[in-house]
Amino acid sequence: MSSLPTRQTTNDEINSRIASEINSDDDLICPCCKSIMHSRKPNSLNRTWALLITAMILYIPANVLPIMAVSFWGDGQPDTILSGVMQLLKAGLWPLALLIFVASIVIPVLKLIILILLLVSINTKAQWHPKDRTKLYRFTEFVGRWSMVDVFVIAILVTLVQFGNTASVSPDLGALSFAAVVILTMFAANSFDPRLIWDNLPEPELADESEQEDDSVIEMNGDRLVEK
Amino acid sequence: MKETGLPAIAFNRIACHDCDLLQTTPRLAVGEVAYCMRCDAVLFTNQKNSVDRSLAFAITGLLFYIIANMFPFLSLKALGFVQEGTLFSTSLSLFKAGMPLLGILLFLTTILFPLTTLLGTIYILMQVKRDKFNDYTAPVFRFLRSTDTWGMLEIFMLAVIVSLVKLGDYADVVFGISLYAFILLILSLTLMSHSLNPQDVWTRLRNNMADQP
């Protein structure tokens, strides 16, 4: 996709051509896909903070309130996320306990922490390890959706375990809050713009080389190619 | 709002989607992957027969999708009763249990988005194959790229396995036909997204636009 060349661009020709268009107040439309172009995701920091703070608030009811109620012979017992993990442990199903623990507790917390760190690092204009921060971002983006596994398990149990008074499972508010946390952090990761990490850095040396003959750049690119 | 022309640089430069470094588009041999020089993001790949293969997997996936939605994936036998679970009844049961929002979420992630991904990919790739594009191609493809993470069938599959182990002690669990169709559907979807190279679609689209101004 033709994205808008930004300050990394040193090619004068492109710069002057684009600059005149940027300076107009109109939104730029991508000639190829007809969507509005942004050099950075609009309002990235504010949106990400807002979504993250909402997720953090909802994280409390997600863990305190029961996610589902299991009842045998009318004997109801509410389960929270943590008590569900404990039950699996007691039943000796430790691989399953570990899976749920990682998916429902470790990943959401890790995601919140990483995104907050990234946001703070940008707000303080940190220059610390930009490559590693970008990798952390890609990790949160990739791993976040797997937290949904617990919500899906609840849905399947609610569907299958419906034997009237004998045995039934019903979802509870904790499940709703937890699903909201997962979705909000997914949206937060989505609205965060990793390019901001690189904007705080001094002009990269690589950009100078792109001024040279195109052939040499291709060669340099070729060195970076890794076979799969 | 105004449209910019298609700049010539669109054809030989690529901006990293993660760090925005503008670099010359490398020419890749089959099977190679281009990484960003600065942040190691995957820029694009050159898969063998990318379009044909992804189209084949998308059509295969669509067939399995239909089967997976027609039959129950699990049923539970206890006390002489049988309780069946299909994909749709899973979403519906959350509605009935007073959690409509969760029901909608489940419907979107396990039914709607996988379907739009399959249908949309077939629609786009058919156009790429015939090299004929219309006004909807680009927006549809953008929509597909942005909803890619919201189809969560593989996570649902993991949840099925977890529930299987959890319920195994209390009742007889019977595997349905759908469960097998499901596994094959997830396989097709994974192979499809692995062999699909978005860059190919965009390049064809741009070349097509440049030919017919």
With CB atoms and an 8 Å threshold, state whether B23 touches A33. no
Ordered structural domains, chain A, with CATH: 42-200 (1.20.140)
Regarding whether B27 and B54 lie in a shared domain, the answer is: no
**Could you give the C-alpha distances from B186 to A34, A165, A218, B176, in angstroms and in order?**
32, 36, 37, 16
Mean pLDDT of A4-24: 54
d(CA A196, CA B20): 9
d(CA A172, CA A181): 15
CB-nearest to B93 from A141, A153, A158 is: A158
- Is there a domain that residue B211 lies in? no
| pLDDT number for residue A5 | 46
d(CA B84, CA B172): 12
Tally of domains in chain B: 2
Regarding whether B3 and B68 lie in a shared domain, the answer is: no
Question: Which tokens hold the place of A107?
Answer: 């990943």
Regarding whether B116 and B29 lie in a shared domain, the answer is: no
| A148 touches B: beta carbon within 8 Å | yes
Question: Which tokens hold the place of B53?
Answer: 């293969």
What percent of chain B stands above pLDDT 70? Answer: 94
Regarding whether B123 and B67 lie in a shared domain, the answer is: yes
- Is there a domain that residue B68 lies in? yes
Helix-, strand-, coil-residue percentages of chain B, each rounded to 5:
60, 15, 25
Regarding whether B29 and B59 lie in a shared domain, the answer is: no
- Is there a domain that residue B205 lies in? no
CB-nearest to B76 from A161, A179, A204 is: A161
Regarding whether B110 and B60 lie in a shared domain, the answer is: yes
| pLDDT number for residue B148 | 87
Regarding whether B90 and B178 lie in a shared domain, the answer is: yes
What is the value of pTM for the model shown?
0.82
| pLDDT number for residue A25 | 58
| pLDDT number for residue B125 | 92
Residue A16 CB neighbour total at 10 angstroms? 9
**Could you give the C-alpha distances from A24 to A21, A32, B4, in angstroms and in order?**
6, 20, 12
Q: Which residues of chain A does B45 touch, with a Cβ-Cβ cutoff of 8 Å?
A: 228
With CB atoms and an 8 Å threshold, state whether A35 touches B139. yes
| pLDDT number for residue A207 | 46
Identify the bridge partners of residue B15 per DSSP, sorted by sequence position. Answer: B22
pLDDT tens for each residue of B8-64: 555 678 888 888 888 888 888 888 888 988 888 888 888 888 889 999 999 999 999
Q: Which residues of chain A does B20 touch, with a Cβ-Cβ cutoff of 8 Å?
A: 3, 6, 8, 195, 198
Regarding whether B107 and B34 lie in a shared domain, the answer is: no
Regarding whether B143 and B123 lie in a shared domain, the answer is: yes
Regarding whether B112 and B64 lie in a shared domain, the answer is: yes
- Is there a domain that residue B207 lies in? no
Regarding whether B31 and B62 lie in a shared domain, the answer is: no
Measured torsion, CA atoms of residues A21, A23, A28, A32, in degrees rounded to the nearest 10:
30
Burial class of residue A13 (count of CB atoms within 10 Å of its CB; 0-12, 13-18, 19+): exposed
- Is there a domain that residue B163 lies in? yes
d(CA B145, CA A215): 32
**Is pLDDT larger for residue A221 or for residue A41?**
A41
| pLDDT number for residue B22 | 85
Mean pLDDT of A123-151: 89
| A47 touches B: beta carbon within 8 Å | no
Question: Which tokens hold the place of A55?
Answer: 């997720």
For residue B117, give the nearest of B179, B48, B199, B57 by alpha carbon. Answer: B57
- Is there a domain that residue B204 lies in? no
**Could you give the C-alpha distances from B189 to A16, B64, B73, B179, B186, in angstroms and in order?**
44, 10, 18, 15, 5
Mean pLDDT of B113-140: 90
- Is there a domain that residue B164 lies in? yes
| pLDDT number for residue A212 | 41
- Is there a domain that residue B157 lies in? yes
pLDDT tens for each residue of A76-128: 778 888 888 988 888 888 888 999 999 999 999 999 999 999 999 998 888 88
Give the helix/strand (H/E) hosting B105. Answer: helix B100-107
Using an 8 Å Cβ cutoff, are B84 and B179 in contact? no
CATH number at residue B134: 1.20.140
Give A57's pLDDT tier (boundaries 50, 70, 90): very high
| pLDDT number for residue A217 | 40
Regarding whether B160 and B67 lie in a shared domain, the answer is: yes
Residue B199 CB neighbour total at 10 angstroms? 18
pLDDT tens for each residue of B64-121: 999 999 988 888 887 777 888 888 999 999 998 888 999 999 999 999 999 999 999 9
| pLDDT number for residue A21 | 58
Residue A145 has pLDDT above 60, yes or no: yes
Mean pLDDT of A17-24: 58
Measured torsion, CA atoms of residues A190, A203, B34, B61, in degrees rounded to the nearest 10:
10
CB neighbour burial string for B18-48, b if at least 16 within 10 angstroms, e if fewer: bbbbbbbbbebeeebbbbbbbbbbebbbbbe
Residue A89 CB neighbour total at 10 angstroms? 15
Measured in degrees and rounded to the nearest 5, phi and psi for residue B185 equal: -65, -45
| pLDDT number for residue B132 | 84
Identify the bridge partners of residue B82 per DSSP, sorted by sequence position. Answer: B77
Residue B24 lies in domain: 1-46
